[in-house]
Structure 1
Amino acid sequence: MATDPLLKIRESGQSIWMDNLNRQLIQSGKLKQMVEAGKITGLTSNPAIFQKAISSSDLYDADIEAGIKAGRSPVEIYESLVFDDIRKACDIFQPVYEATDGLDGYVSIEVSPNLARDTQGTIDEARRFYQAIDRPNVMIKIPGTPEGFPAVEQVIADGINVNITLLFSVESYEKTAEAYMRGLERRVDQNQSIHKLASVASFFLSRIDTNVDDRIQERLRQVGTDTLNNEARLRQVLGKVAIANAKIAYQTFKKITASERWQRLAKQGANVQRLLWASTSTKNPDYNDVMYVNELVGRNTVNTLPPNTIDACEDHCEIMADRIESNISEAYQLIESLNDPDIAIDLDEVMDEVMQEGIDKFVQPFESLMQSIQDKVDQMTVAKS
């Protein structure tokens, strides 16, 4: 039995992926060391991560200058930088991909967040990214919007690995699983292989609690101190909704994978579409900084952690196998209680808000990154004139 919490999580049937990528991580050898030590078995990225990596480092300047000389646009320069990092990361994870027969070892890259409401644009970009990166263990991230679900089905049918991101509600997860199965079924109907074709459903956590907690705090300001029972009920909900919601999603996942429909696909060699816990850094400093890790250890799941949460987990995570299976009835009761008049939290409204906020939080850094690259282009052009 391992003593390192990260390795104990892996022994419990959950994979740890890192939510971070930059050139320094690759060139220093740190990423390779973490992979070889078994600390992480995959990696996720997003526009915010690349915005920070490229705008805060001079490691990309030579390639940006080469892009300028080649007459490339800022978007083309961005893609050349990001694709290069993704390819190198895929190569580092390739041994994991082979050793797990395509279960792990993936590196995720997101299509432009500006395409979140564009089905065909998402399909076209996913195909282009997959062909350009040219690695079997690259995973294309597609937002779980109404427009994204048909794109997921088509991209899976094309034989492209997909990470469906920005999932918040159990309903959206069910639509994700449906899109994945339809895509697989189309391949089977065409006598195409579904072996080593993978997908994860990225279920976001901390943003839900942040939104719900803000609503509860507003309710507490309205309630005051005259109705102590009402105040106590409201406080019991603080910081609890995201984990309860995730536990219910996991129960849904178990029902889907136990269904005859899924079992038929499994016999054809299909990989289970694992739930991936995302947005796992705790935003409220009053909460346990590893609560989204400790509480959601479960078989056939992934938890993607930013570096600071990885460090915190190694230091003080308390791992219990299948903990996600605990207190299930309480989770259902908590979510149901949100409808009570004295709590009155509209969870559907919350999910709609956090979905749009999630898209905006990827659009803004993407546009900021394009501007950063344009600024570097302008600076280098002036310096040469």
Structure 2
Amino acid sequence: MKATRQLHELGQSLWLDNITRSLLDDGTLARYIAEDSITGLTSNPSIFDAAIGDGDAYDAGVHAKTLAGLSGEALFTELALEDLRRAADLFKPVFDATHQVDGWVSMEVSPLLAADTAGSIAAAKKIHAQGRRDNLFVKIPGTPEGVPAIEEAIFLGIPINVTLLFSCAHYQAVAEAYMRGIERRLAAGLDPKVGSVASLFISRWDVAANKQLPDELHNKLGIAVGQQTYRAYRELLASSRWQKLADAGALPQRLLWASTGTKDPSAPDTLYISAFAAPDTIDTMPEKTLHAFADHGQLHGVMAIDGGDADDTLAQISKAGVDIDALALKLQQDGADAFVKSWHQLLQRIADKASALADKSKGPALR
């Protein structure tokens, strides 16, 4: 049995951390669904920046929307949602078969809103309405200002993928926000069934910490943080507070492993996929990592629900001089800043492309 199928049979959802128009047009995404057990996907500004900038797949769409009077964020949002609606339709059979647990796609609010609670809520409402797909998550970062926006969005019935989580404390804060949103819905007599995932970023920990650590502790911090967070996740699902919500019909906010491509060339290219084999979770992986795991990935058991050796590993890393709490804060801020940079690049790229296409359409060579 293919390794990707083994993970699926274990109870873990495998999602693709990518979307491009060519993936949809040439049938590659459909093939990943059929052959590699892919049951959802995620996107972010960096992914769309690369997708729109590479090749001409989006040229006709950019030109047509420019002629229709769209520009900037409005033009990008419609371009992205065209792709995500098509992907959502491919995953709709999974969404229906799993009763809304799986089969999701994700669209991010503007990264410029990471510190703007009210703006994030307004953007989430707009994307949710414009998306027109039941299996479309709106991504809101789990920043301090994002947490109340997440609670309010859940209360409003908007499915949310919480992004940019780096620590167990980050996860616990958004899990609380999710439960508060569901509890408010129940108190208001509303359906408690609102989808959500909490996305914990893994590999960036090791990129940041390896240079401060001895070789024997390289590439262990991200896994330890994940183990610690998985323990908290399992404890929450076993809690009486959650059981009460589940009994009322609420869906669990599933833990999602993000940033699972190996960044260290000296480490196995499937390191994080094998380490995070855990039921009732999601692993969203870049295409390169998906291909690697499908080709030669191996499972080495299931992640321990008690956190395994996470506490010992974190203690060793702290003793070696890494301030883990401070690094979590920095990683979240750096991640938000990186998405802002990609966002500005993306909008500039679209503007440049729109201008070039407009000039070309005026030229004598156009027939």
Does TM-score exceed 0.5, indicating one fold?
A: yes
Question: 1:320, CA displacement in angstroms?
Answer: 4.0
Question: 1:34, CA displacement in angstroms?
Answer: 2.1
Match of 2:87 in 1: 89
Alpha-carbon distance change, 384 to 4 in structure 1, aligned in 2, over 3 angstroms: closer
Match of 2:259 in 1: 279
d(CA) in 2 for partners of 1:169, 1:159: 26
Match of 2:365 in 1: none
Is the counterpart of residue 264 in structure 1 residue 248 in structure 2?
A: no
SS in 1 for 2:65: helix
Does the Cα contact within 8 Å between 2:59 and 2:357 map onto a contact in 1? no
Match of 1:351 in 2: 328
Match of 1:370 in 2: 347
d(CA) in 2 for partners of 1:338, 1:54: 40
Code of the aligned partner of 1:202: S
Question: 1:38, CA displacement in angstroms?
Answer: 5.7
Q: Deviations over 1:275-332 (max 9, x none)?
A: 110001110100111110101111111000110000000111112452x118945211
Match of 1:205 in 2: 202
Match of 1:337 in 2: 316
**Pairing of 1:317-332 with structure 2 (within 5 A):** 317-322=297-302, 324-325=303-304, 328-332=307-311
Does the Cα contact within 8 Å between 2:274 and 2:297 map onto a contact in 1? yes
Match of 2:112 in 1: 114
Structure 2: which 5+ runs fail to align?
Answer: 363-367
Structure 1: which 5+ runs fail to align?
Answer: 217-233
Does the Cα contact within 8 Å between 1:12 and 1:321 map onto a contact in 2? no
Q: Where does structure 1 differ by over 3 angstroms across 4 or more consecutive aligned residues?
A: 326-329
Number of aligned residues: 362
Code of the aligned partner of 2:251: N
d(CA) in 1 for partners of 2:318, 2:261: 27
Code of the aligned partner of 2:117: T
Does the Cα contact within 8 Å between 1:9 and 1:321 map onto a contact in 2? no
C-alpha RMSD over aligned residues:
1.4
Question: 1:168, CA displacement in angstroms?
Answer: 0.5
d(CA) in 2 for partners of 1:321, 1:335: 21
Q: Percent identity?
A: 40
SS in 2 for 1:71: coil
d(CA) in 2 for partners of 1:33, 1:346: 43
d(CA) in 1 for partners of 2:123, 2:225: 31
Q: Deviations over 1:334-367 (max 9, x none)?
A: 1122332xx1211112112211111122111111
Match of 1:48 in 2: 46
Match of 1:72 in 2: 70
Match of 1:300 among 235, 257, 280: 280
Does the Cα contact within 8 Å between 2:202 and 2:260 map onto a contact in 1? yes
SS in 2 for 1:41: strand
Q: Which moved more, 1:20-29 or 1:34-43?
A: 34-43
Is the counterpart of residue 252 in structure 1 residue 220 in structure 2?
A: no
Match of 1:129 among 127, 130, 141: 127
Which TM-score applies when normalising by structure 2?
A: 0.96
d(CA) in 2 for partners of 1:13, 1:185: 27
d(CA) in 2 for partners of 1:332, 1:256: 18
Match of 1:229 in 2: none
Question: 1:384, CA displacement in angstroms?
Answer: 4.1
Alpha-carbon distance change, 238 to 326 in structure 1, aligned in 2, over 3 angstroms: farther
d(CA) in 2 for partners of 1:328, 1:78: 41
Match of 1:159 among 120, 134, 157: 157
Match of 1:98 in 2: 96
